[in-house]
A = this chain, B = another copy of it.
Amino acid sequence: MPADGTSRRSFLQGGAAVLGGAALALGGRAVVDAATADPADAAAPDDAAGRATVAFRGERQPGVTTRPQAFAAFVALDLVDGFDRDALVRLMRIWTDDAERLMAGTPGLADQEKELAAVPARLTVTFGYGPRVFEAAGLADRAPGWLRPLPAFGVDRLEDAWTGGDLVLQVCADDEVTVSHAVRLLVKDARTFTTVRWVQRGFRHAPGTTPSGTTMRNLMGQVDGTRNPDVGVEPALVWSSDDAGPAHAGSTSMVVRRIAMNLDTWDELDRDGREKAVGRRLDTGAPLTGTREHDEPDLDAKGPNGLTVIGPFAHIRRARSENTAERFLRRGYNYDDAPAPGRLSNSGLVFTTFQRDVDAQFVPIQRRLDELDLLNEWTTPIGSAVFYVPGGARSGEYVGQRLLEA
């Protein structure tokens, strides 16, 4: 079974689809015909990306170490007055049921657009709690110490419109229609309990448009996310273990930062300046001291002028700590919204990270970047939120059950 939990059924369908495609390719002209095939032909083999599913049940929630899908929506919800532990349990039972159904490519229980559920496209739904959920549920003593707004950073220009939230939904899929449908159903499930605080949508390259394993590029043109840790090898960077007690086993945390890019001033910088700001080549993503994207940067290497090749304020130097515990999993998405009057664009990153402990892993790195990072010149954090991501729903459980009932 693939590492990200794609089901055997969808994997086999995918394999069959590829074989079907090959048969057409061998026939030459037949491939062309496929593009205009009768839509009633249910055996058409070219929807493998739509049929793929990710397993919902498990000790940990999906959507964290799942290979990032092409599209994401992040929805922050605020609790209505009177929301209590019973309401939370009721909501999590409904959400669990609908998330499981949708991720399998079947409609939710009260789904009125059932047909839109038919393309799972590796849909994942990930639920997170802000500090107020613990208070409302009478579980403040179980809230991790790091579950609070991040410290104020000098670079921040936070807007209420993108900051905070009591609950979060991360909905990701390789199809945007699927994301829209799932978001709509899950937000409706919660309508008596919550109001929508913010919605952020993002994208990476669409399925089948870049070779598997390609690191995404952001809209500044940079390869973005090369040094993500391998959580399969180092699970403790992201996941709480049984040592954390039954309430927290399999949990993690999600930080959602909205980072605006000032592409107009970025345009004033030439390629050499851009590469020095980041410390990597624009074309390959290789560090300035290497030739391939995943080469280890040599932070001590000096150029003919006696200065370090990777400058003291280069992003990759500042984003890196001597302390190897200070790492986390990045899982961000580009955004590109309609520009404000008089502007050319409104682009940036929904910069999302997962880590076991926000204070121990995320905050120290963010402080380093806040103090000195050339990229601060062209990027501005305009939103920020921190969420606790409870463990997954094992067989018979609802998401969060071990936290709420342990």
Q: Which residues of B contact A70 (CB under 8 A)?
A: 176, 206
| Set of chain B residues within 8 Å of A178, measured between Cβ atoms | 209
- Which residues between 23 and 52 of chain A lie within 8 Å of chain B, taking CB atoms? 24-26, 28, 31-32, 34-42, 44-50
Cα A21 to Cα B35 with chains together (Å): 18
Does the CB pair A39–B214 fall under 8 Å? Answer: yes
Interface string of A115-132 (1 = CB under 8 A from B): 110010100000000000
**Contact between B47 and A113, CB atoms less than 8 A apart:** no
B4 touching A35 by the CB < 8 A rule? yes
A219 B22 Cβ-Cβ under 8 A: no
In the complex, which residue of chain B has the Cβ closest to the Cβ of A161? B338
With contacts A11-B31, A22-B19, A113-B221 known, is A40 near B206, CB below 8 A?
no
Within the complex, the shortest CB–CB distance from A343 to chain B, in Å, comes to 7
Residue A371 lies at the interface, judged by CB distance under 8 Å to chain B: no
Given A31-B14, A203-B176, A345-B187, do A36 and B217 touch, yes or no (CB 8 Å)?
A: no
Which of A148-156, A190-198, A245-253, A398-406 participates in binding chain B? A190-198
Residue of B41, B198, B220 near A211 (CB, 8 A) is: B41
Determine whether the beta carbon of B14 is less than 8 Å from that of A188.
Answer: no
The number of chain A residues with a CB under 8 A from chain B is 97
A320 at the interface (CB under 8 A from B): no
Decide if A19 touches B25 in the complex (CB within 8 Å): yes
Contact of A35 with B219 at beta-carbon distance under 8 Å, contacts A188-B267, A208-B46 already known: no
The answer to whether A40 touches B292, judged by C-beta atoms less than 8 angstroms apart, is: yes
Please judge, given known A-B contacts A39-B214, A345-B184, whether A209 and B175 are in contact too, CB under 8 Å: yes
Q: Does A324 contact B (CB under 8 A)?
A: no
Say yes or no: B283 contacts A115, CB within 8 Å. Answer: yes
Asked if B2 and A32 sit within 8 Å, CB to CB, the answer is yes
Residues B221 and A38 in contact, CB atoms below 8 Å apart: no
A-B contact pairs, 14 of them (CB 8 A): A11-B31, A18-B24, A22-B22, A35-B213, A37-B212, A44-B212, A49-B206, A50-B210, A115-B282, A175-B206, A180-B219, A181-B219, A184-B219, A206-B206
